[in-house]
A = this chain, B = another copy of it.
Amino acid sequence: MASSSSSSSGTASPCGACRFLRRKCTHDCIFAPYFGSEQGPVKFAAIHKVFGASNVSKLLLQIPPHDRPEAVATIAYEAQARIQDPVYGCVAHIFTLQQQVAFLQAQLMEAKAHLAQNAMNSHNNIENIFESAQIMMNMQENTKQKGVFF
């Protein structure tokens, strides 16, 4: 590991994570690509408080580099959610979405039941129309046979 202080951006300033941790930022710093020098410290603070820098570092090292941006984004999201809601964290979001799914499923079931009922009513209406038409034709036929034309 090189001892020179440099983030992935090639500048001499430490990355946001190392800035927060007040440590030297090496050229192969695992956090540097995801935590800029300016906004990074704030973003990293939540992650460090909830997961710990060491745990996140180990986690990122076991993930292929192309998957790390997504991992950092989801870890940052979870950390922020846990700080905002220490009891439920982002699981509160899962509960809300599960309730939304259940509500929508109930609404959809109701709408489908109405559609099925409508289809039955429509069938009956068509039968009524055919019945009316049949009566009309019978009346016309009856009238013709009796010699009345109109």
Q: B-contacting residues of A (Cβ < 8 Å)?
A: 49-52, 54-55, 59, 62-63, 67, 70-71, 74-75, 77-78, 82, 86-91, 93-94, 97-98, 100-101, 104-105, 107-108, 111-112, 114-115, 118, 121-122, 125-126, 128-129, 132-133, 135-136, 139-140, 142-143, 146, 148, 150
Each complex incorporates copies of this chain amounting to 2
Residue of B nearest to A52 (CB): B52
Q: CB-CB < 8 A to A150: which residues of B?
A: 139, 142-143, 146
Q: CB-CB < 8 A to A75: which residues of B?
A: 89
Residue of B nearest to A58 (CB): B49
- Nearest Cβ on chain B to A72's Cβ, whole angstroms: 10
Bound CA–CA A75/B114 (angstroms) = 42
Given A105-B104, A148-B143, A70 and B90 touching (CB < 8 A)?
Answer: no
Q: CB-CB < 8 A to A70: which residues of B?
A: 87-88
- Nearest Cβ on chain B to A110's Cβ, whole angstroms: 9
Bound CA–CA A77/B82 (angstroms) = 13
Could you list 12 examples of A-B contacts with CB < 8 Å?
A49-B55, A51-B52, A51-B55, A52-B52, A52-B54, A63-B87, A74-B88, A74-B89, A97-B101, A115-B118, A118-B118, A132-B133
